Amino acid sequence: MTTVSTIGISTTGPEPAAAILSPAEAGAAIRSLADADKVALLKVARLYAKKTPYDHEDLLQEAICRVLSCKRAWPRDLAPLPFLWGVVRSIAWEWRKETPDAPPDLGDPEGEERRAIASLDVAKIIALFDDDPAAQIIVRGMMEGARGQELQDLSGLDKTDYESKRTKIRRRVEKLWA
Amino acid sequence: MTRNSDPLFNLADALSEDIVAAPADVLVHDAGSDPDGRAGLVGAFDRIAARAAAQSRRQRIVERLRTLLHGLPAPVGWTSAMAGVAGIFVLGIVTGMHFHQADLQIAAAPPRVLAERLTDKADEPIAGARTSYAENRSARADPDTQSNRAATPAAAPAAPPPAPTAAPPVATLAPPPAPSVAAGAADEAKPVRTFDVRPDTAPPARAARRASPELQPRAEDRVAALAMAEEQKRLDPAPVSRATALAPEAPKVASRPALAASRADSPPAFHWPARGRVVAGFGSDVGGAPNNGIDLAVPAGTDIRAAEEGVVLYTGNEIKSLGNLILLSHRDDFITAYGHAKSFQVKAGDTVRRGQVIAKSGQTGTAKAPQLHFEIRKDTTPVDPAQYLPPG
């Protein structure tokens, strides 16, 4: 940043940092991740990889590669975990196995197969919580896209119980998909 | 997260939010019950990150070389590329163009040097980059710290983050909220995780190597092109490459990134590939051009050993002057070349240990006597093997 004083002398201050991280900075940030964050990203990748034809390692590798190749800009003020989560998610969305919403089409046996598999996966997860109706309601709500207070209201639980259920749900699903 | 019609994707979104928001100690504790265990998960991440970094580096090198060569009339060989760049440079001088000194140096450099410099810029060393994120994270693992996390201003970024419009999926993520917001938010308010990465300067080692006399192009510079081509084959960055780009990494146990992860903290330790008298040193005049490596006089049939563990990138004789040639790819983007071999003991894709016999020496190519031509390249730029080999 250059400023001109009233007596006409230019002074040069520190240049403002770029809004996005350079590849080197991104690499440093990734290498500096704490163990907990590495675990979190692997788990997130596992969750999303279920919706793709690839495994979670491929998904995570592609995400990091895109970041390091500047194909995904990393805003300087965005923390690594949320940012990398977003990248993983978007790649999973890009790679996702489409599940057709339309009614079965006799001319599309592949689509029908995907639909059947997706239904099975959903049913399997719902069945995981047959012993816990409240958790099952929350899972159904999550699948429908409900979040936050809406989801808690749906469950009819107080905050503590609701948080406890969410943790239980997460652990069970992670175990199923590990 | 944006809602969509896919129930499993919605579920993944919801559970991911929980994972990202979970306290560090909970995540670490949960990882202990994972089939892979905490160490397994962390190790897996490190391997994946190393593979991704290597893949990214190679892609950038290939892209920059492509960009460079696209500016020249096609088809061009390395020699004609040099001539083209030199011609432009001379024309600029003649017509009175004024180059900035640094630009002048770059303009005068052969494409491989330019490519190396471009790579250096994008791949600026980061060993010294400091981050407070891991420290913050470790500090948060303390239960007392966690309980106060939402209300601790130090955990929040110094300035409000900009809207991440450049990355649509990221835009759906709530940026780190200000402490007051976090304290009053509903259960979905996520903990703030901040970090601060500061750019650092290049370490002296790389600068010193760059300061060494630049070599003029010669026929053996096709080694670089060959190495790039082989790397490109392994990467296959074609548009249809989503599956194939991943596929080359399939032999994960033996791959170059895996090697990179194994001892990433120490530079490769090269050993002599064979015992023999050095008949032509690095940079010495060989047929009117400087030697990109060293030439060792060795009897025909002598074992040629891998100078360092790595992966066989290429075996063949497409570079006539070098005869039967082997290229090995090592961690930290080093490549070694072994020319004039009589026969190969390995094939492309093989993983080799340091000291493993990879070929038998011979007199193939333009060698006038049985010898081994040995090169070490950083990326594709030849470096003096004497800097890396133990005193012979």
Q: Locate the chain B residue with the closest alpha carbon to A120.
A: B8
Taking contacts as CB-CB distances below 8 angstroms, the residues of chain B near A86 are 164, 167, 169-173
Whether the CB of A59 is below 8 Å from some CB of chain B: the reply is no
Q: Beta strand B310-316 with B324-329: parallel, antiparallel or unpaired? A: antiparallel
pLDDT value for A112: 64
Average pLDDT, chain A: 81
Cα separation, A159 vs B217, in Å, equals 70
Query: What does the DSSP assignment read for B85-137?
Result: HHHHHHHHHHTT----HHHHHHHHS-HHHHHHHHHHHHT---TT--BSHHHHH
* Total residues found in chain A within this entry: 178
ipTM above 0.85, yes or no: no
Element (H, E) at B286: strand B285-286
pLDDT given for residue A64 in this prediction: 95
Residue B81 token pair:
């590329």
Give which of A141, A134, A40, A160 is closest to B191, Cα–Cα: A40
What is the b/e burial string over B103-114, where b = at least 16 CB atoms within 10 angstroms of the residue's CB?
eeebbebbbbbb
Provide the pLDDT for residue B238.
39
Q: Are B18 and A170 a contacting pair at CB < 8 A?
A: yes
Query: Which chain B residue has the Cα nearest residue A22?
Result: B122
Instruction: Tell me the chain B residues in contact with residue A143 when contact means C-beta distances shorter than 8 Å.
Output: 7-8, 10-11
Which pLDDT score, from 0 to 100, does residue B199 have?
A: 40
- Measured between alpha carbons, how far is B67 from B74 in angstroms, rounded to an integer? 12
- What does the block give as tokens for B185? 């938010």
E strand residue ranges, B298-370: 303-305, 310-316, 324-329, 334-344, 351-352, 357-361
Q: Which of B268, B336, B261, B262 is nearest to B305 (CA)?
A: B336
- Which pLDDT does position A110 carry in this prediction? 61
Pick from B112, B365, B106, B118: nearest CA to B217: B112
- What confidence score (pLDDT) does residue B186 get? 35
Per-residue confidence band for A40, with pLDDT thresholds at 50, 70 and 90: very high
pLDDT of residue A67: 93
To the nearest whole angstrom, how far is the Cα of A20 from the nearest Cα of chain B? Answer: 10
Helix (H) or strand (E) holding B378: strand B371-378
Q: What SS3 class is residue B329?
A: strand
Q: What are the φ and ψ backbone dihedral angles of A166, each rounded to 5 degrees?
A: -65, -40
Contact between residue B125 and residue B203 where contact means Cβ atoms under 8 Å apart = yes
Nearest C-alpha neighbor of B155 from the set B170, B139, B143: B139
Task: Scan residues 35-54 of A and list those with Cβ closer than 8 Å to B.
Answer: 35-44, 47-48, 50-51, 53-54
Residue B282: count of CB within 10 angstroms of its CB: 22
- Reported as a single tens digit per residue, the pLDDT across A102-157 is 454 555 556 666 666 667 778 888 888 888 999 999 999 999 888 888 888 888 88
pLDDT digit string (tens) for chain B, length 392 residues: 555 678 888 888 999 988 888 888 888 887 777 777 778 888 899 999 999 988 888 887 887 777 766 655 544 556 666 666 666 555 545 444 433 333 334 333 443 443 344 344 434 333 333 333 333 444 344 434 333 333 333 333 333 333 333 333 333 333 333 333 333 333 333 343 444 444 433 333 333 333 333 333 344 566 777 767 666 665 554 333 333 333 333 333 333 343 444 444 567 889 999 988 888 888 888 777 788 889 999 888 989 999 998 888 888 887 878 889 998 888 888 889 999 999 999 988 888 998 999 999 999 988 888 899 999 988 777 888 988 888 86
Rounded alpha-carbon distances, angstroms, from residue B290 to A102, B116, B212, B214: 68, 19, 13, 10
pLDDT of residue A74 exceeding 90, the answer is: yes
Q: Does A90 touch chain B (CB under 8 A)?
A: yes
Q: Which of A51, A61, A98, A153 to mutate to test the interface with B (most CBs of B within 10 A)?
A: A61
User: What pLDDT does residue B158 have?
Assistant: 35
Q: What does the pLDDT average to over A90-112?
A: 65
H or E stretch including B372?
Answer: strand B371-378
List all residues of chain A from 61 to 80 with a beta carbon under 8 Å from chain B: 61-65, 68-70, 72-75, 77-80
B260 to chain A, closest Cα gap in Å:
13
Check: pTM over 0.90? Answer yes or no: no
B42 and A35 within 8 Å at the Cβ level: the answer is yes
3-class SS shares of chain B: helix, strand, coil, % to 5: 45, 15, 40
Min Cα–Cα distance to chain A from B258, Å = 13
Q: Which residues contact B239 (CB under 8 A, 6 or more apart)?
A: none
Residues of A in contact with B243 (CB under 8 A): 53-54
C-beta separation of A139 from A121 below 8 A: no
If one compares A34 and A15, the residue with the highest pLDDT of the two is A34
Residue pair A75/A20 in contact by the 8 Å Cβ criterion = yes
Which residue in chain B is spatially nearest to A56 when comparing CA positions? B48
What does the block give as tokens for B385? 């093997």
Q: How far is the alpha carbon of A175 from chain B, nearest alpha carbon, in Å?
A: 7
Tokens 């397994």 — which residue? B40
Contact A57, B46 (CB under 8 A): no
